[in-house]
């Protein structure tokens, strides 16, 4: 049985050496920009050259993460980085944005490309399409069950990689807009503010609703090896070098000798992460949700506070070098202290030096690092000779080749619904196209005799769900072929790979979940024969106007899907709130969807958008109660370029960071 690669996170120099010492076969890390962990220290280009050299000496591969979405004005810098990487011996790049993929494949073809988990590949349609497009490896979604993973492996012609350890997101990776909604710092930009680790109000109580335990699949390693998974990946570019070393050692131990499972399991008990879960990989699904948001091991509490010192009670012995986190009972900003100076006053009491005035008796104390292992903080060897920058004439030539078509000038209005009760209220007298979202049950029992279908079938688009489990691929292929036979052969797809499920001769557009933030991405998607492209919900006006492409469907009224998850939550009345906003929860197709209570309205920008050359507009009434009055009001306000109230503008005016 072939051993899988052990792929380890590196967020700083110390964790790089920790990964090497722990037994990594490969490491993944980011430059200062365009990676999904912008808050990690990350690496300069000079450091990157040193790391590649040091890794090669240790027979370790280096993968570079370029796994964020890219704005139009950033394409220039992205080309600089791709040029630089193309002149190094980097083993592969990991990408999310279709524009990054397009530029790499077309202009830097010898760079190996891996599809990030942010691309949300979750079935063999996704892996097969990735192979066809030119990816060398797919990092699969974390939400898969063991049986789904096994079935995908059997039908997959490409290397696969899965996360086996580390933090879990509540939402599907790549589909979370919550952080962006709270202030423009998007997860798809590497700036996640961790909304799933926050307390929310529900039924007069305030608690964690979406905080996930940590992923731990050490017991699954034998099965994963049997399946032929190419790479086992550890999450944690924001984690300490000590954590990286501990976890790497444990998985290295089991990969090399399956009989050492118990020893490795014991080693992981000291990783100082959160509670652990196998989530959907477990045979018996148990809740992966935790009531504790932080990492580390709770060890005691503050019992007294004096000037410049505090007394801690802890049954766990403390020692010099330990790092502790003290969390106040009111959940204010926690305090982190390295124990350099302290006195043990009795068996379980310690007086520590601190000038922090916010500590109070009763505050919880958590051990977050033992300080046992120290790793070099500076890279070895001399600074390498820098690579000359990309020639300006080559960059200009590349930009001249990625200009997208400006689009049509005729105003076109799309309406989207996810409730069939809307249908009797809709007329093509005031809309041009209708997008219908269906549940799996509605797909199976669709009534092709509905009156609206007789008006003009070419104006109706059937939307595919964002998540299609492996077992349902054949179902959707057959169902969509049936729709086509009834004259409904226009489709809205939620993942670019879904074009492979469509019947021959079908016409398709891409919805907001097929991210298109730049002209390079637009070029690729149009090249795949998409009739129209939807601007992502978290896009902003400045970026939209900076692009050349105008064949873009602009969402003008909608409820953004802030969380899209396979994990249910227990809520009273399916709503919750924070200090500023209220939210609603819907269960659809077995998925938990969180949306804000008030919609996003860009109706007031219609005139400005038209002046800029945009002429295709989307009114998304999903999650609205069917009402002819609501429909009429929203259409009228769009025509008048008036805002709907109450509403927000999401990132459109303030910008996505």
Task: Give residue 523's pLDDT.
Answer: 96
- Domains of the chain (ranges; CATH) run 5-168+213-272 (3.20.20.70), 297-369 (2.40.30.10), 408-559+599-640 (3.20.20.60)
Q: Average pLDDT in the 131-152 region?
A: 98
Task: Give residue 331's pLDDT.
Answer: 63
**Rounded CA separation 631/46 (Å):** 57
**Rounded CA separation 229/281 (Å):** 14
The pLDDT tens digits for 6-63 are 999 999 999 999 999 999 999 999 998 898 777 777 899 999 999 999 999 999 999 9
Question: In 87-166, which ranges are E strands?
Answer: 92-95, 113-115, 137-139, 159-166
**Rounded CA separation 54/367 (Å):** 32
Distances (CA, A) of 370 to 253, 319, 322, 414: 21, 8, 4, 58
| Band of residue 270 on the pLDDT scale cut at 50, 70, 90 | confident
Read off the pTM. 0.94
Task: Give residue 323's pLDDT.
Answer: 87
Give the lowest-confidence range in 125-129, 339-343, 597-601: 339-343
| Band of residue 469 on the pLDDT scale cut at 50, 70, 90 | very high
Task: Give residue 595's pLDDT.
Answer: 99
240 or 416, which is more confident:
416
Which helix (H) or strand (E) covers residue 308, if one does?
none
Q: Average pLDDT in the 122-135 region?
A: 98
Which helix (H) or strand (E) covers residue 633, if one does?
helix 628-640
β partners of residue 326: 335, 365
Are 157 and 129 in contact by the 8 Å Cβ rule? The answer is no
The token duo for 222 is 């034998």
β partners of residue 339: none
| pLDDT higher than threshold 70 for residue 405 | no
Residue 487 zone, left/alpha/beta (φ > 0; ψ -120 to 50; rest): left
Cα end-to-end span (Å), the chain: 46
For tokens 């997101």, name the residue. 169
SS (H, E, C) 331-369: CCCCEEEECCCEEEEECCEEEEECCCCCCCCCCEEEEEE
On the CB side of 428, CA atoms within 13 Å amount to 14
The pLDDT tens digits for 553-572 are 999 999 999 999 999 998 98
The pLDDT tens digits for 316-343 are 999 888 889 898 776 677 888 888 888 8
β partners of residue 234: 165
Report the share of the chain in percent with pLDDT over 90: 82
**Could you give the angle at which helices 75-86 and 392-401 cross, rounded to 10 degrees?**
120
**Rounded CA separation 101/531 (Å):** 21
| Band of residue 131 on the pLDDT scale cut at 50, 70, 90 | very high
> Sign of torsion, CA 244 179 515 587?
positive
Task: Give residue 657's pLDDT.
Answer: 93
Burial grade of 440 (CB within 10 A; 0-12, 13-18, 19 or more): middle
Task: Give residue 261's pLDDT.
Answer: 98
Torsion angles phi and psi, residue 437, rounded to 5: -95, 130
| pLDDT higher than threshold 80 for residue 347 | yes
Give the lowest-confidence range in 341-350, 490-499, 512-521, 528-537: 341-350
| pLDDT higher than threshold 70 for residue 408 | no
**Rounded CA separation 626/476 (Å):** 27
Q: Average pLDDT in the 585-599 region?
A: 97
The token duo for 188 is 């798809």
Give the lowest-confidence range in 31-35, 86-90, 171-175, 186-190: 31-35
3-state helix, strand, coil in the chain (%, to 5): 30, 25, 45
**Rounded CA separation 116/99 (Å):** 14
Distances (CA, A) of 620 to 181, 436, 604, 616: 18, 10, 16, 13
Distances (CA, A) of 427 to 90, 416, 486: 56, 13, 20
**Could you give the angle at which helices 146-154 and 124-133 cross, rounded to 10 degrees?**
40
The overall average pLDDT reported for the chain is 94
Task: Give residue 283's pLDDT.
Answer: 75
| pLDDT higher than threshold 70 for residue 547 | yes
**Rounded CA separation 585/595 (Å):** 7
The token duo for 430 is 């005031």
**Rounded CA separation 470/515 (Å):** 22
């Amino acid at each position: 049985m072939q051993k899988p690669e052990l792929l380890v996170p590196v967020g700083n120099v110390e964790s790089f050496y920790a990964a090497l010492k722990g037994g990594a076969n490969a490491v993944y890390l980011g430059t200062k920009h365009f990676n999904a962990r912008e808050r990690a220290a990350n690496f300069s280009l000079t450091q990157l050259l040193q790391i590649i050299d040091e890794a090669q000496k240790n027979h370790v591969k280096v993968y570079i993460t370029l796994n964020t979405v890219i704005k139009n004005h950033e394409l220039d810098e992205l080309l600089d980085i791709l040029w630089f990487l193309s002149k190094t011996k980097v083993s592969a790049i990991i990408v999310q944005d279709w524009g990054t993929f397009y530029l790499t494949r077309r202009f830097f073809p010898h760079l190996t490309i891996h599809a990030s988990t942010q691309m949300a590949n979750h079935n063999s349609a996704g892996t097969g399409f990735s192979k066809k497009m030119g990816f060398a490896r797919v990092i699969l979604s974390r939400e898969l069950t063991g049986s789904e993973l096994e079935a995908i492996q059997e039908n997959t012609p490409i290397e696969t990689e899965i996360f086996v350890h580390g933090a879990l997101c509540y939402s599907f990776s790549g589909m979370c807009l919550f952080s962006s909604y709270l202030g423009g710092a998007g997860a798809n930009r590497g700036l996640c503010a961790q909304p799933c680790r926050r307390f929310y109000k529900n039924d007069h109580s305030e608690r964690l609703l979406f905080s996930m335990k940590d992923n731990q699949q050490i017991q699954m390693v034998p099965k994963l090896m049997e399946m032929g998974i190419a790479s086992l990946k550890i999450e944690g570019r924001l984690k300490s070098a000590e954590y990286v070393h501990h976890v790497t050692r444990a998985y290295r131990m089991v990969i090399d000798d399956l009989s050492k499972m118990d020893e490795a399991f014991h080693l992981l008990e000291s990783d100082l992460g959160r509670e652990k879960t196998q989530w959907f990989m477990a045979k018996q699904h148990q809740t992966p949700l935790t009531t504790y948001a932080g990492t580390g091991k709770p060890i005691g509490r503050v019992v007294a506070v004096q000037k410049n010192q505090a007394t801690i009670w802890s049954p766990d012995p403390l020692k010099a070098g330990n790092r502790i986190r003290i969390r106040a009972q009111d959940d204010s900003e926690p305090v982190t202290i390295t124990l350099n100076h302290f006195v043990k006053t009795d068996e379980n009491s310690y007086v520590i030096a601190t000038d922090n005035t916010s500590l109070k008796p009763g505050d919880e104390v958590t051990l977050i690092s033992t300080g046992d292992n120290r790793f070099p903080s500076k890279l070895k060897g001399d600074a390498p000779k820098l690579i000359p920058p990309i020639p300006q004439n080559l960059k200009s030539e590349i930009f001249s080749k990625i200009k997208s078509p400006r689009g049509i000038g005729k105003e076109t209005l799309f309406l989207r619904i996810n409730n069939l009760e809307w249908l009797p209220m809709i007329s093509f007298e005031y809309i041009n196209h209708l997008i219908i979202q269906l549940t799996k049950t509605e797909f199976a029992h669709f009534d092709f005799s509905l009156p609206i279908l007789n008006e003009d079938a070419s104006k109706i688009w059937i939307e595919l769900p964002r998540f299609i489990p492996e077992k349902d691929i054949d179902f959707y292929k057959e169902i969509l072929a049936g729709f086509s036979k009834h004259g409904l052969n226009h489709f809205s797809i939620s993942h670019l790979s879904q074009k492979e499920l469509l019947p021959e001769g079908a016409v398709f557009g891409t919805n907001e979940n097929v991210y298109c933030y730049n002209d390079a991405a637009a070029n690729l998607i149009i090249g795949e024969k998409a009739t129209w492209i939807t601007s992502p919900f978290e896009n902003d006006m400045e970026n939209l106007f900076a692009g050349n492409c105008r064949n873009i469907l602009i969402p003008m009224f909608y409820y953004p899907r802030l969380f899209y998850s396979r994990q249910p939550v227990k809520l009273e009345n399916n709503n919750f709130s924070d200090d500023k906003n209220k939210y609603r929860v819907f269960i659809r197709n077995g998925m938990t969807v969180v949306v804000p209570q008030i919609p996003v309205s860009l109706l007031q920008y219609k005139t400005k958008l038209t002046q800029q050359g945009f002429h295709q507009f989307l009114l998304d009434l999903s999650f609205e109660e069917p009402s002819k009055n609501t429909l009429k009001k929203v259409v009228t306000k769009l025509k008048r370029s008036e805002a709907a109230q109450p509403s927000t503008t999401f990132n459109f005016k303030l910008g996505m960071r």
